[in-house]
């Protein structure tokens, strides 16, 4: 009897070994993968600023992990981009993933599928057991950023932009900031030994550098600032000056940049900032160095007509490609003298998922994968852009190209949270243009605030 029981146990053990050896099935069978997750998924990805070479390493790495997902990236000119987006979706030929300025997120909210609470993707796994190789497709949940991660792992301004109703509507690859670009030769010629660190030093430098003839024609511009149409980033710069002057851009009742300083009804920071901005285009002011007849500020800097401009990191490749021999430097954005805390300004784009995405999980899975520290570092190195992830900023601060911009990201702000950023920019540009001849400057400022408030 004992011998018979031993034989039964031996047969049972052999059966277990056979079943778990990889020849037919596993000891713990996997749930069949849903057909929608393992079929071939084609995703189209549209953008403006990123060359395919910047994104291809990320796309290739993602596709290696998920062979059933294919991503095709296409770059557009900025002038045509929005028209192409809307036309593409109207004919169901638009992108699954796309880039937009962070300021467009509320405008495009209905064209976005927010990130789901969980993302599952198919993986191909190869195992070898007892000399036999087996390939299986398994489905797993992949790591994604939670709302808490957005607040803790990215710089502060990101959560303010991409989070709506505790849902994530986009992820940034990088975060750019305004900085001061200066022509070394022109500063040296004027006896300005070091680039200005604050606005007082900047106005002193402008007086030394600028040259105006007897007919008030500008021969040499110290700083390209003061007008709207031909100053790149004019609205961003004016917004920055308002913030640095103490203006509260948004209040409980909406737009507040025309309000007086709390506790001092006679001081309107937004008005003071506007006066400072437009002074550089006022022929009667001692800092006069610019007017509406000049070329664009970027063009003037590239040609040597302007000694200083305010620009973003994404302006660097334009300058270097058009004037490779220009000897220029980049330094921190000027601050109010003796300011306790620096205030910087950001303009950045986010990557998001279309409302018509063919596979939402695959699209959001890619954006989260691309934003992992290992992958996004490849992108930032190739594109030479400052990071949006906090953990990468310290390493970038010593970088000779993006270090200045990276050092400013932690104090970078942006204010407009409305649904019509282009209308806001139009109102602010009109404010700059009409201010010098306004019979009642404060009324003009208040009217501008009301118009912007209507777009929220």
Tens digits of per-residue pLDDT, 312-356? Answer: 999 999 999 999 999 999 999 999 999 999 999 999 999 999 999
Nearest to 220 by CA among 187, 178, 180, 181: 187
pLDDT above 90 (res 49): yes
Q: How far apart are CA 3 and CA 7, in angstroms?
A: 6
Residue with tokens 């100053």: 231
Contact criterion met (CB below 8 Å) for 339 and 322: no
pLDDT above 50 (res 24): no
Report the share of the chain in percent with pLDDT over 70.
91
Mean pLDDT of all residues in 186-203:
97
Distant-in-sequence, close-in-space partners of 385: CB < 8 Å, separation ≥ 6 = 173, 174, 176, 313, 314, 379, 402
Look up residue 361 and give its two tokens: 């999980």
Mean pLDDT of all residues in 5-33:
36
Q: 135 forms bridges with which residues in the sheet?
A: 126
Nearest to 298 by CA among 325, 316, 278: 316
Nearest to 402 by CA among 327, 332, 320, 323: 332
Q: How far is CA 257 from CA 166, 240, 241, 340, 420, in A?
A: 27, 11, 11, 21, 18
**How does residue 41 score in pLDDT terms, banded at 50, 70 and 90?**
very high
pLDDT tens digit sequence for 245-288: 999 999 988 999 999 998 888 899 999 999 999 999 999 999 99
Nearest to 240 by CA among 411, 37, 69, 42: 411
Helix, strand, coil percent values for the chain (each to nearest 5): 45, 20, 40
Which of 7-16, 66-75, 239-248, 428-437 has the least mean pLDDT?
7-16
Q: How far apart are CA 197 and CA 180, in angstroms?
A: 9
35-175+349-393 in CATH: which number? 3.40.190.10
The class that CATH gives domain 177-348+409-453 is: alpha beta
Classify each residue of 376-395 as buried b or exposed e, where b means 16 or more C-beta atoms within 10 Å of its C-beta.
bebbbebbbbbbbbeebbee
Q: How far is CA 360 from CA 59, 133, 345, in A?
A: 16, 33, 32
pLDDT above 80 (res 36): no
pLDDT tens digit sequence for 110-165: 999 999 999 999 998 777 776 677 777 889 999 999 999 999 999 999 999 999 99
Q: How far apart are CA 143 and CA 118, in angstroms?
A: 9
Q: In this predicted structure, what is the pLDDT of residue 13?
A: 35
Q: How far apart are CA 140 and CA 126, in angstroms?
A: 15
Q: Between 372 and 417, name the one with better pLDDT.
A: 372
Q: What is the pTM of this model?
A: 0.88
CA atoms within 13 A on the CB side of 51: 10
Sheet architecture: strand order including 412-413? 176-177, 344-347, 412-413
Q: 345 forms bridges with which residues in the sheet?
A: 413
Task: Compute the mean pLDDT over every residue in the chain, rounded to the nearest whole number.
Answer: 91
Classify each residue of 330-339 as buried b or exposed e, where b means 16 or more C-beta atoms within 10 Å of its C-beta.
bebbbbeeee
Q: What is the DSSP letter of 172?
A: -
Q: Is the dihedral of CA 424, 430, 435, 439 positive or negative?
A: negative
Q: How far apart are CA 405 and CA 350, in angstroms?
A: 18
Q: In this predicted structure, what is the pLDDT of residue 3?
A: 40
Look up residue 268 and give its two tokens: 């309107």
Look up residue 96 and give its two tokens: 């699954």
Coil/strand/helix, residue 167: strand
- Residue ranges, comma separated, of all CATH 3.40.190.10 domains in the chain are 35-175+349-393, 177-348+409-453
């Amino acid at each position: 009897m004992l011998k018979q029981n031993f034989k039964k146990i031996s047969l049972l053990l052999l059966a277990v070994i056979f079943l778990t050896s990889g020849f037919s099935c596993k000891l713990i069978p996997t749930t069949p993968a849903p057909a929608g997750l393992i079929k071939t998924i084609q995703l189209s990805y549209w953008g403006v600023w990123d060359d395919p070479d910047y994104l291809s390493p990320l796309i290739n790495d993602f596709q290696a992990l998920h062979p059933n997902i294919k991503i095709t990236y296409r770059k557009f000119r900025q002038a045509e981009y929005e028209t192409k987006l809307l036309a593409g979706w109207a004919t169901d030929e638009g992108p699954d993933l796309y880039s937009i300025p962070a300021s467009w997120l509320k405008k495009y909210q209905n064209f976005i599928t927010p990130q789901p609470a969980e993302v599952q993707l198919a993986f191909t796994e190869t195992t070898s057991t007892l000399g036999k190789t087996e390939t299986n497709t398994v489905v797993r949940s992949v790591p994604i950023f939670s709302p808490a991660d957005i607040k803790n792992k990215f710089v502060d301004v990101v959560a303010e932009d991409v989070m709506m109703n505790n849902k994530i509507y986009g992820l940034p690859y990088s975060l750019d900031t305004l900085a001061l670009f200066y022509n070394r030769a022109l500063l040296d010629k004027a006896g300005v030994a070091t680039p200005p660190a604050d606005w007082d030093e900047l106005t002193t430098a402008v007086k030394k550098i600028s040259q105006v003839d007897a007919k008030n024609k500008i021969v040499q511009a110290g700083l390209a600032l003061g007008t709207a149409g031909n100053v790149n980033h004019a609205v961003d710069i004016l917004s920055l000056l308002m913030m640095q002057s103490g203006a509260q851009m948004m209040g409980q009742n909406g737009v507040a940049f025309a309000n007086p300083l709390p506790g001092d009804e006679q001081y309107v920071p937004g008005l003071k900032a506007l006066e400072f901005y437009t002074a550089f285009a006022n022929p009667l002011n001692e800092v006069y160095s610019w007017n509406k007849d000049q070329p664009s500020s970027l063009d003037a800097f590239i040609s040597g007509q302007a000694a200083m401009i305010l620009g973003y990191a994404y302006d660097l490749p334009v300058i270097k490609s058009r004037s490779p021999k220009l000897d220029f430097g980049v330094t921190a954005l000027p601050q109010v003298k003796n300011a306790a805390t620096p205030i910087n300004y950001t303009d950045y784009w986010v990557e998001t998922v279309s409302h018509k995405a063919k596979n939402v999980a695959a699209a959001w899975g890619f954006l989260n994968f691309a934003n992992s520290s290992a992958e996004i570092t490849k992108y930032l190195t190739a594109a030479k852009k400052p990071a949006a992830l906090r953990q990468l900023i310290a390493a970038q601060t010593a970088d000779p190209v993006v270090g200045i911009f990276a050092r400013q990201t932690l104090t970078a702000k942006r204010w407009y949270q409305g649904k019509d950023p282009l209308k806001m920019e139009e109102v602010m540009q009109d404010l700059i243009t009409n201010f010098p001849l306004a019979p009642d400057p404060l009324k003009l400022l208040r009217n501008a605030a009301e118009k912007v408030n209507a777009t929220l």
